[in-house]
Amino acid sequence: MTEYEIIADPKEYGIEKLVDGLNGSPIEFPPEERTQWAQEVGAFATRLNELSDKATSLQTWLAGDAAIKSTPASLKTLKIQLFKINDALDTSISMVNKLECDIVPCITEKN
């Protein structure tokens, strides 16, 4: 079974103040916390699936033939909100990619 190590540097995530005073020695990730975080990540996945469904519905509506009327201010508001959603997704994807790089197989020394 492969062992993994989380090597995330709090400074790279801008949260070093949250971990001040914690010792730097490796510890085991407690099973109850792993279970809790696995459930949280499962909830993230569910919410992302819901977002995907909503985005697909919006795409279908926008690509459809039905007339769409709007005030210029409402149309601008829609566009700004879509840009905000896109920016949040970009930030989230970048963060996940970085975290994936910070979870690595342990290298054990062999004598």
Segment 66-99, tens digit of pLDDT:
999 999 999 999 999 999 999 999 999 999 999 9
Please check the confidence at residue 111 and state whether its pLDDT lies above 70. no
Kindly state the average pLDDT of the residues 39-58: 97
What residues contact residue 106 under an 8 Å CB cut-off, 6+ apart? 2, 3, 4, 5
Q: What percent of the chain has pLDDT over 70?
A: 95
Quote the distance between the C-alpha of residue 36 and its chain's center: 17
Question: Exposed, middle or buried by CB within 10 Å (0-12, 13-18, 19+), for 78?
Answer: middle
Confidence of residue 46 (pLDDT cuts 50, 70, 90): very high
Instruction: State the pLDDT at residue 107.
Output: 66
Kindly state the average pLDDT of the residues 46-50: 97
In contact, 8 and 111? CB cutoff 8 Å: no
What residues contact residue 2 under an 8 Å CB cut-off, 6+ apart? 105, 106
